[in-house]
Amino acid sequence: MCAQWENLSEEFAENEDVHIAHVDCTSQRDVCSKHGVRGYPTLQLFSGGDASTGKKYAGGRDESALKSFVQSHAK
């Protein structure tokens, strides 16, 4: 999963509206608890600068599916 994440991050680096990041729930438990993360990996999309709610991702975990998901929500 890390390779796909890194590739996506590089691909969208020029897009100021897209920020791809990961959270380590072993060290950032409060963040994971706040967003209802119970299984790993959990992927969520936060849009419009609103970090209070995230849209859980339920699609494929390959790079192509992840890219399509990001593109469908990016400006």
Contact 20, 6 (CB under 8 A): no
CA distances (Å), origin 10, targets 21, 51, 53: 11, 22, 25
Task: Check residue 57 and give left, alpha or beta (phi > 0: left; psi -120 to 50: alpha).
Answer: beta
User: What are the structural domain ranges in the chain?
Assistant: 2-73
> Would you tell me which CATH number, out of the four given (2.40.10.10, 3.90.930.12, 3.40.30.10, 3.30.750.24), belongs to the domain 2-73?
3.40.30.10
pLDDT tens track for 46-70? 877 777 778 888 899 889 999 999 8
Q: Flag whether the pTM goes above 0.85.
A: no
